[in-house]
């Protein structure tokens, strides 16, 4: 029998208006916060001023670091660290999508640890505890607010590095669906497909077990029920709440069970072509699922049922295929590119992308089907369209 670990040290506050609740937690974290946001719309969201006000009433001052672009790199993180040191910040708040939250995670770790960030790629390489960290998502996709992962660009081969450490868990995640209402349909779709990919990949992962499967099934059901609605009408509060919950639960699932080939490939595509993470996952997901089906038919059958597909009376493999059909049906109605060709990925890059993705041994080892580089080439060719 396998031995499993479930570690979940993050306090989570969830619900509309939960940003206000931060005041009951924040006093013990420090006196001066570095608030890390994106360099686009997130820095000017009214909620940033609300946050400042709440912190001010608790006697906490704020320095704003709003230089984080999508897929943040090592240099941006180091600039954030320098700012925090200059201004005497003693804790960090990541506010935005996965990009500012991941930058905030590594800034918090770097403030307490010397050494080069590139040497932290992989599992367990950060030497010691981070400064206290709070994460507040404004997208419903990455689940980064509850994971022990930060994805930072600028590894030695120019790759997106997954830094994985128990010291990257936030002490507090505040998930307020109201903060996602301003996402336009394309970002809602891309980030929502990231959440669905987390749910599906964690459910079929070799490291999945009962608690992670319960979370991933619920997340898959929520995302398939609410993503189209959230894209069609960003003010549909029930759909926004459903997607925030899907993202949170999928993050809780995959931080324990790991991910798979869609993520290994999308990191390679993001690093080489700048394709947004959720868009790359969306385009790859059905092709990765078809490749994996024979290795995990029962898990895919469960997902098909969770996503509302009729599977009674079907053979195991046919029922599993219904999960792919559910994803393809959803993709057909979302405002997203259909294939890698539409995203400008040339056929000539397939072998080198596959070779880069193959180096991601962590995601390859949790993927349900044994993989050789030619398999990744095949998946990419299918996804080219």
- 313: tokens are 């009376």
> Smaller CB distance to ligand NAD: residue 110 or 277?
277
> Smaller CB distance to ligand NAD: residue 231 or 304?
231
- 188: tokens are 């809602």
Look-up of token digits 């991910």: 259
**Phi, psi values for residue 346, rounded to 5°:** -80, 150
Return the residues of window 192-231 that contact ligand NAD according to CB under 6 A.
Answer: 194
Among 18, 76, 113, 144, binds ligand NAD (CB under 6 A): 144
CB neighbours of residue 314 within 10 Å: 15
50 binds ligand NAD (CB under 6 A): no
User: How far is the C-alpha of 25 from the C-alpha of 12, rounded, in Å?
Assistant: 11
Q: What share of the chain is helix, strand, coil (3-state, %, to 5)?
A: 60, 10, 30
Return the residues of window 260-299 that contact ligand NAD according to CB under 6 A.
Answer: 277-278
> Smaller CB distance to ligand NAD: residue 242 or 278?
278
242 binds ligand NAD (CB under 6 A): no
Handedness of CA 355, 283, 144, 295 (dihedral sign): negative
Q: How far is the CB of 298 from ligand NAD (least distance, A)?
A: 26
141 binds ligand NAD (CB under 6 A): yes
- 232: tokens are 């069609």
187 binds ligand NAD (CB under 6 A): yes
147 binds ligand NAD (CB under 6 A): yes
- 283: tokens are 């385009």
Report whether 28 contacts 233 (CB < 8 A): no
User: How far is the C-alpha of 46 from the C-alpha of 156, rounded, in Å?
Assistant: 38
Q: Write the DSSP symbol of residue 238.
A: H
Q: How far is the CB of 3 from ligand NAD (least distance, A)?
A: 24
User: How far is the C-alpha of 187 from the C-alpha of 336, rounded, in Å?
Assistant: 9
> Smaller CB distance to ligand NAD: residue 293 or 343?
343
Among 149, 282, 288, 334, binds ligand NAD (CB under 6 A): 149
Return the residues of window 57-116 that contact ligand NAD according to CB under 6 A.
Answer: 70-71, 96-99, 102
> Smaller CB distance to ligand NAD: residue 99 or 205?
99
Which residues of the chain form contacts with ligand NAD (CB under 6 A)?
A: 38, 40-42, 70-71, 96-99, 102, 138-139, 141-144, 147, 149-151, 179-180, 182-183, 187, 191, 194, 277-278
């Amino acid at each position: 029998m396998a031995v499993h670990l479930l570690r979940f040290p993050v306090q989570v506050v969830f619900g509309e208006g939960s940003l206000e609740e931060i005041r009951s937690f924040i006093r013990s974290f420090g006196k001066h916060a570095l608030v890390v946001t994106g360099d686009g719309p997130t820095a000017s969201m009214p909620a940033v001023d609300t946050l400042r006000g709440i912190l001010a009433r608790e006697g906490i001052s704020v320095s704003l670091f709003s230089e984080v672009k999508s897929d943040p790199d090592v240099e941006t993180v180091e600039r954030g660290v320098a700012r925090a040191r200059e201004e005497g910040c003693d804790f960090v708040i990541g506010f935005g999508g996965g990009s500012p939250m991941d930058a905030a995670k590594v800034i918090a770790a770097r403030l307490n640890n010397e050494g080069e960030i590139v040497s932290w790629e992989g599992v367990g390489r950060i030497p010691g505890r981070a400064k206290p960290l709070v994460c507040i998502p404004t997208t419903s996709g990455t689940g980064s607010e509850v994971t022990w992962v930060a994805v930072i660009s600028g590894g030695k081969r120019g790759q997106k590095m997954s830094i994985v450490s128990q010291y990257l868990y936030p002490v507090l995640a505040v998930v307020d669906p109201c903060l996602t209402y301003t996402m336009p349909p394309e970002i809602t779709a891309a980030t929502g497909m990231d959440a669905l990919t987390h749910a599906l990949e964690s459910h079929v992962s070799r490291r999945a077990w009962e608690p992670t499967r319960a979370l991933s099934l619920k997340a898959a059901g929520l995302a398939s029920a609410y993503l189209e609605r959230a894209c069609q009408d960003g003010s549909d509060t029930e759909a926004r709440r459903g997607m925030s919950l899907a993202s949170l639960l999928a993050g809780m699932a995959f931080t324990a069970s790991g991910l798979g080939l869609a993520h290994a490939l999308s990191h390679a595509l993001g690093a080489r072509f700048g394709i947004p993470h959720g868009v790359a996952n969306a385009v790859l997901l059905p092709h990765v699922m078809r490749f994996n089906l024979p290795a995990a038919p029962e898990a895919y059958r469960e997902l098909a049922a969770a996503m509302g597909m009729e599977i009674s009376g079907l053979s195991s493999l046919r029922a599993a295929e219904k999960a792919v059909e559910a994803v393809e049906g959803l993709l057909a109605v979302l405002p997203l590119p259909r294939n890698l060709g539409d995203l400008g990925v040339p056929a000539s890059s397939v072998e080198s992308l596959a070779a880069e993705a193959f180096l991601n041994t962590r995601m390859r080892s949790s993927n349900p089907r044994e993989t050789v580089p030619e398999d990744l080439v095949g998946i990419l060719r299918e996804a080219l369209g």
